[in-house]
Chain A
Amino acid sequence: MAILVFVESADGKIKKTSLEAVAYAHAMGDKVTAIALGTIDKAELTAVGKYGASKVLTVSDERLNQGVIRAYAAVLAQAIQAESADTLVLANSSLGTPVAASVAVKIGASLASNVVGLPDTSSGFVVKQSIYTGKAFAMVEMKNQKKVIGIKKNAVELKEVGGDATVSDFTANLTDADFGTKITATEKATGDILLPEAEIVVSGGRGMKGPEHWGILEDLAKTLGAATGCSKPVSDIGWRPHHEHVGQTGVKVAPQLYIAVGISGAIQHLAGVNSSKYIVVINKDPEAPFFKAADYGIVGDAFTVVPKLTDAIKASK
């Protein structure tokens, strides 16, 4: 049976998390077809082949240049049928997650979200799903013949396994009802590294004392090619924009490296960072709870330690 992978793009480029979804599908061992909606550069599409898709479907319909959830779901459900696929794989994201849910209902599929590993098919079809905001995992049996799998960032390693994919057009039948929501404006930080997808994150808490002190964190982030984040009180008082707030009620990050500066390490903050591979904590209080969740720690004043760290990284390059 074939597997369909929905690939998302940002600024005309296929997202890394979507390539991970392609790699995941390839590792499942079946024939993989990717599908991209909206206008994307052809070279970007053929390159999806490197990660294991033999074919890429594109749907050029201007209305799909913006992510309208039910319209996307309608296209995917039709493509699943046209390709005789029984499984849809995609990356969990602000678009992927609701689209996956919609498709699952349309085609009567079992749905699993935030999946962190390949399925175990020794008895049934069982995936490991991250739950309780990264504090636990569940082994979920997907019982229906059709399946929709949303994967969490970093669930698979990206390896090049193939060459170019062939690109072909796919036509879907869409009605006005599929476009029940109208996107009237998009505000996006362009050029910057997006927090949910960053490999390195530099985050600041109330210990930074005020928005005027973020410069030293931005310098560190720039030196590392990192995104910046913050704790909830910091965005509540408006020192930083809301979309930078990390934690249980904010963005959940899963970078290779998370550097927390002047953040105490409240359990709600930790819930957003516990999928990070390595955690560095800089705090002037040796008793700060964050040290218990850290791999490396420095007890010291952020205002002296952070610039020193930036310099040391520059010196080591």
Chain B
Amino acid sequence: MKILVCISHVPDTTSKINFVENNTKFDTAGVQFIIGPYDDYALARAIELKETLSATVTVLNVGLAETEPTIRKALAIGADDAIRVNAVPTDSFFVATQIAEHAKGYDLILMGRESIDYNSGVVHSMVGELLGLPSVSPVMKLDLEGTTVKMQREIEGGKESLEATLPLIAGCQEPIAEWKIPNMRGIMSARTKPLTVVDPKAVDAPVNFQKYELPPPKGAVKMISEDNVAELVTLLKNEAKVL
């Protein structure tokens, strides 16, 4: 059983978002990069499956050399080896094309439900279409019974149970597994685990991110005394006009 986990390398969830070069580039100054939180769930579930089945776990990232500490962290958490497609992940279709190039031969391809930078939640579905495989997201529970995959997917206000057969792609979210923290032995062994760097496949970019902007700053908060709650209701009615 071969499992592929696709990880994005994204700003830590507490990062302040800023742009430079006339708002055309993300400002990385002082930003800590992490494995995408949803991808971390995918990885954790892959490691759990590896512990119960005889499986190997490969991690894949599309990114430049700066993502290697993030990839090494995934190896420290328990992945066996890694592939880095040496390219800037310019857009979802580009990333999906690179993943599809390397995903053949894997039984289970796990991703996060969405990356936390562009939040598109589309790469898994694109890879599914490129490979002609079913893709399910956001998956909150995933179990294997032979080649049958039993899953639970979150839908608006509820959940859906699904079944499919391997090979399959799933975009994961909690509570599929608990995030894993690397231990000392993991960190030591990660240094020597194989990390293969490959060149990207050329793609005609369907989109171009031209410029970025930040939302307008929020106005000052209006404080209301707890003894005068009726005033809040009046403001919501007459000023905000939301009641």
Contact = CB atoms under 8 A, between A and B. Distances in A.
B158 A98 contact: no
A82 interface: no
Best-surrounded residue of A139, A189, A196 (most CB of chain B within 10 A): A139
Interface in A229-283: 242-243, 248-249, 256-257, 267-268, 271, 274, 277-278, 280-281
B164 interface: yes
Contacts of A144: 206
Nearest to A313: B233
Given A139-B211, A140-B208, A98 B93 contact: no
A143 B132 CA distance: 25
B1 interface: no
Contacts of B92: 101, 111
B122 A291 contact: no
Interface residues of A, number: 91
B222 A296 contact: yes
B121 interface: yes
Contacts of A183: 160-162
Interface string A206-243: 00000000000000000010000000000000000011
A101 B198 CA distance: 26
Contacts of A267: 13-14
A316 B134 CA distance: 52
A183 B133 CA distance: 16
Interface stretch (B50-58, B59-67, B70-78, B123-131): B123-131
A136 B213 contact: yes
A256 to B, nearest CB: 4
Nearest to A198: B157
Interface string B113-155: 0001111111111101110111111101000000000000111
6 cross-chain pairs, A with B, having the tightest CB-CB distances, nearest first: A300-B226, A180-B134, A101-B122, A188-B158, A101-B125, A194-B157
Interface of B: 11, 13-14, 17, 19, 37-38, 92-93, 96, 116-126, 128-130, 132-138, 140, 153-165, 173-175, 205-215, 218-219, 221-226, 229-230, 232-237, 240, 242-243
